[in-house]
Amino acid sequence: MFCHTVIRCILLVSQVVASSRKVEPLVQALVDAPVVANHIACIASTLEGRELPVECLAAFASQKMEQISRLSDTFGQRRLVKLLCALMERILKREPLALLQIGTELEEFCLRFSSLERASALYRLAMPLLDGG
């Protein structure tokens, strides 16, 4: 729970002072943190009813896709793929520019995990936006 609160605080502070360079180390710490389900869930719940900085969302999604891709625990990896895909679907609906910045990475991630329905659904949702349509 503590970690959840810290992440939420970082995100809210970054939202308030998005124009300030002082928040960048905080956001970078969140992006660099090991991928865990609680972090993804926290971003998803914080996104509800708020707009978060596009750069923060893009950096978080990009880093988590990379971390998940490197996991050796197949069960844990599949679970995190599903959670991250659900989060990215929310981001696409609210802040599509965030994921357009990492379009190639997003496409590769979805194709790599296309055996999972959630990744396939994200691919179908994202491709029209990434193709400019």
Tell me which amino acid residue 23 is: V
Cα four-point dihedral sign 34, 65, 90, 17: positive
pLDDT tens-digit profile of 83-111? Answer: 999 999 988 888 888 888 898 999 999 99
Tell me which amino acid residue 57 is: L
What is the model's pLDDT at position 1?
43
pLDDT tens-digit profile of 48-95? Answer: 666 677 777 888 889 999 999 999 999 999 999 999 999 999 888 888
Predicted TM-score of the model (pTM) = 0.79
